[in-house]
Structure 1
């Protein structure tokens, strides 16, 4: 068990959690985490994970039956030998715990654990499709996929069809953009690049694209992905980097929106997240999409459903006609006293110089008179 990290992570310091949670903390919303499994022993995740809804696509049921009570033989998706899925789930729905400032963005949401990959990358696009279908069947409102492949997958692929079925069931699908962006080249990754999926890139503390984050025309938004704190199997937390941890940050926001506006469509929730993101330009780009997600702003906007898609910000307003400026003193009493003291010192210095100069003139005049 790793030690708990006491402080509040930087990615949460920028969020006013009381304001974010004034209407909901995500209660009643199910978020499927399709990953390396989700540990349900960590105290911050134990009350969040619903093992009854989980599934392990890497272990057949017969293997579980032959292993007795061995934890590793479970097939409900709660075995995480890598820790990746446990970190992802924590960013979404970790419960508050004494001794740590870390908490999930939707700390009352329910996690559906689905194990589809491991340290050997045993997961395939076909099993990913099965995992997506399972999440939908179990009533997921949001699906988080922090995995990707650069293998071109067309609309007829099994994974594309599974994503389409999830979207047709009004499920918000969030996926990481990938971590191969160091070369600066644009390329698609899947499932993030499928139409309707909210693709998430990584941003740093300055709201700029993290160097590793994959850029592309498919990127919807960015979210913190550097020095991310989250839960690990058994208990405690650790720090990690990657778009894998940016996606669940956005999935947590989606869960809160789903809880607050249950009547909204998945597309409307995605639009709200994109439209309220913090932008450095008037529109979107291929590095951070429509900007860096702003959880509080996304939840703070009115209940009216957003438009069918995000739009560029309006141009800067025309400045009003200039008016004569009123000149006023803006100094504090202390500054005024210091200013007057400075004046007094200056005047005193001038008087001293004048007196000294006068004395020198008189002296020289007397000397010249004595010579004559």
Structure 2
């Protein structure tokens, strides 16, 4: 067991003085029980008083944040070592350092160039040029997923159309005033970064070091009115913008989890996340709460890094990959068995806040935002209360029922890659026409297998096997406890093909994994596979 002074030393080794623009060092704390929370939190704050530690309670379950206002986390391996020491020394079930990380590049939306430095310099071939043929088809993305037909179907049947009455929550960089967004309904906005005029001001300040205007662009393809060039898939829906990140390529899953909790607590019906990063207990727990509350939760599969990122990689999240105007995979889309469905991602027309006009944009960020609008249309068409009731009759959550119907009604082009790109391309009209029973019971064997292995640790184990080789899945690693640490190491490694001196496949995988986590010994002392 770690003693208080050793915990203080390990935490001190993980931090550095906070600079202007830095977020404070934070650790998410999850007690073993609500009763154990208060004494553990008090002891931890007392023992780290020299570092100016503060504790912020998050909910009645005792979940909290340890905050060091004058410091920033400066070293990821040291931060994970400090988290281990806090678990051992104070009896917490899980402690997670808030790692600001970059794994998924996005297209730069300003005048500087087609993509940010990371994507342009390190990932050639990910982005494509603008397509002149689409300039006369600015709403091609809506046509590709039959949204106009779905709207017409709802109106012909005197049903609520275009997402009317549904709230879409959007954790992102925030939104700005833009002609394409004039008239949208804003509900319960929030700024988790503390840089707004008020705590509820979600305005994106368009800082050059972030991904300025990203939230404005993705919001536009979900909820923009039909008045100008861009129309959202759910122009009658309300938007709950949450400024949770400065950059989609440098983000915090802890803050993203806070955004999800805010959305659920304030009545959101759909949550769309045009972002992606590492695995996170905070994120996994928040997703579970959202799904249990019958919120539909979706995320981008990812851009340019091959592997599907989190939260999309979790079973509790609907993962959306990207296509072009010809039903082909967008070159930058992440692919894999975690993908549920595909939607337009290549040269989708969206609002561009930095120039004040609209233009073509790329990324699975747009694919998931389009899909979120489709979810809003489906909920409005049937009525959310009806959807909840019908899901209960079938022993499902609304999320599970929507995913089943989304996949069953998908349009499947010839030669479709169903393993990497999901069931097909969204067909909104067919989705609205579908019976609640369509596809019920199909895939039951696969569903049972997935339910037998909780997705939190399993998704990280599967990534390790994909990156390091099949032998990695049998390594004696507690994939749940090490989820953030291992996923960070695997997704941010710059040399995925690093060779090992070991001849045995298992030993080689273990050597590569430990090298990537900075030499920390994360293997358990007994030779058995842990898949939690």
Task: Measure the CA separation in 2 of the matches of 1:136 and 1:284.
Answer: 34
The CA deviation string for residues 230-275 of structure 1, in whole angstroms up to 9 with x for no partner, is 1233743121101111101111110101111222222212221111
Task: Measure the CA separation in 2 of the matches of 1:309 and 1:289.
Answer: 18
- Name the counterpart of 2:282: 158
Equivalent runs, 1:183-194 vs 2, <5 Å:
185=306, 187-194=307-314
Larger RCO (alpha carbons 8 Å, 6+ apart):
1
Q: Does 1:54 align with 2:189?
A: yes
Q: Does 1:35 align with 2:161?
A: no
Task: Measure the CA separation in 2 of the matches of 1:47 and 1:6.
Answer: 25
Equivalent runs, 1:1-372 vs 2, <5 Å:
7-14=137-144, 17-22=147-152, 23=154, 24-39=161-176, 41-50=177-186, 53-59=188-194, 64=197, 75-79=200-204, 81=206, 82-97=212-227, 100-119=228-247, 121=249, 123-149=251-277, 151-153=278-280, 157-181=281-305, 185=306, 187-233=307-353, 235-261=356-382, 262=384, 263-264=386-387, 265-280=398-413, 285-302=418-435, 304-308=436-440
Task: Measure the CA separation in 2 of the matches of 1:200 and 1:17.
Answer: 17
The question of whether the paired residues in 1 share the 8 Å contact of 2:138 and 2:349 is answered with no
Task: Measure the CA separation in 2 of the matches of 1:38 and 1:14.
Answer: 26
The question of whether the paired residues in 2 share the 8 Å contact of 1:209 and 1:287 is answered with no
- Name the counterpart of 1:340: none
The CA deviation string for residues 170-229 of structure 1, in whole angstroms up to 9 with x for no partner, is 000010000124xxx5x3410001112110000112212111111111000111100110
264-273 vs 227-236, greater mean Cα deviation: 227-236
- Name the counterpart of 2:116: none
Q: Unaligned regions of 5+ residues in structure 2, if any? A: 1-109, 111-134, 155-160, 207-211, 388-397, 445-532
Q: Unaligned regions of 5+ residues in structure 1, if any? A: 66-73, 313-372
280-289 vs 123-132, greater mean Cα deviation: 280-289
Q: CA deviation at 1:295?
A: 1.7
Structure 1's 188 and 236: CA in aligned 2 closer, same or farther, altered over 3 A? closer
The question of whether the paired residues in 2 share the 8 Å contact of 1:283 and 1:311 is answered with no
SS at 1:254's partner residue?
helix
Task: Measure the CA separation in 2 of the matches of 1:230 and 1:14.
Answer: 16
Task: Measure the CA separation in 1 of the matches of 2:302 and 2:256.
Answer: 16
The CA deviation string for residues 128-163 of structure 1, in whole angstroms up to 9 with x for no partner, is 1100000111111000001101x344xxx0110000
The question of whether the paired residues in 1 share the 8 Å contact of 2:146 and 2:428 is answered with no
SS at 1:202's partner residue?
strand
The question of whether the paired residues in 1 share the 8 Å contact of 2:180 and 2:224 is answered with yes
The question of whether the paired residues in 2 share the 8 Å contact of 1:278 and 1:294 is answered with yes
Q: CA deviation at 1:75?
A: 4.3
Q: CA deviation at 1:12?
A: 2.6
- Name the counterpart of 2:497: none
SS at 2:340's partner residue?
strand
Query: How large is the RMSD of aligned CA atoms in angstroms?
Result: 2.6
Task: Measure the CA separation in 1 of the matches of 2:421 and 2:279.
Answer: 22
Task: Measure the CA separation in 1 of the matches of 2:348 and 2:428.
Answer: 16
TM-score by length of 1: 0.70
The question of whether the paired residues in 2 share the 8 Å contact of 1:125 and 1:159 is answered with yes
- Name the counterpart of 2:88: none
286-295 vs 17-26, greater mean Cα deviation: 17-26
The question of whether the paired residues in 2 share the 8 Å contact of 1:49 and 1:113 is answered with no
The question of whether the paired residues in 1 share the 8 Å contact of 2:145 and 2:425 is answered with no
Task: Measure the CA separation in 1 of the matches of 2:229 and 2:146.
Answer: 13
The question of whether the paired residues in 1 share the 8 Å contact of 2:323 and 2:346 is answered with yes
Q: CA deviation at 1:296?
A: 1.9
157-166 vs 12-21, greater mean Cα deviation: 12-21
Task: Measure the CA separation in 2 of the matches of 1:53 and 1:80.
Answer: 19
Q: CA deviation at 1:47?
A: 2.1
The question of whether the paired residues in 2 share the 8 Å contact of 1:32 and 1:142 is answered with yes
Task: Measure the CA separation in 2 of the matches of 1:268 and 1:282.
Answer: 27
TM-score by length of 2: 0.50
For the pair shown, which has the larger CA radius of gyration, 1 or 2?
1
